[in-house]
Amino acid sequence: MKFPIELILNLSDMKVLDFQEIEGGEIIITIEKNVNYSTCPNCQQITYSIHQNHWRMIHDLPWNKKPVLLKINRRQFKCH
C-alpha cells in the first residue's frame, strides 16, 4: 500500500512540491507552507509581500535506510 508523502511527513500546514529519490543516495522532499502570507511580529498586520526566499536543507529521519533531506522554502515577508 502506498501513502501520500503529506501523510507520512505529518506536517499539516506544509505542502509537498517535489519528491526526488537519488539512486544510491538520499531522498529529497521539497516543501513549503500552504499559505502565502505572514503576520508582522511588530504591528501584527497580515502581509502578502514577499521580500526574499531562502531554501534550506534539513536532515530528517532515514527512510528505508536512506537519508532524507527536507528542502524548505523559508520565505521572508516585508511589512508596509
DSSP 34: S
Host domain of residue 24 = 5-77
CA distance 40 to 61: 32
CA nearest neighbour of 9 among 23, 27, 36? 27
Could you read off the pLDDT of 25-52 as tens digits, one per residue? 899 999 888 888 888 878 888 888 888 8
Q: What is the pTM of this model?
A: 0.74
* Structural domains in the chain (count): 1
pLDDT at residue number 42: 80
Could you read off the pLDDT of 49-79 as tens digits, one per residue? 888 888 999 998 898 889 999 999 888 888 7
Mean pLDDT, range 2-7, rounded to an integer: 67
pLDDT at residue number 3: 57
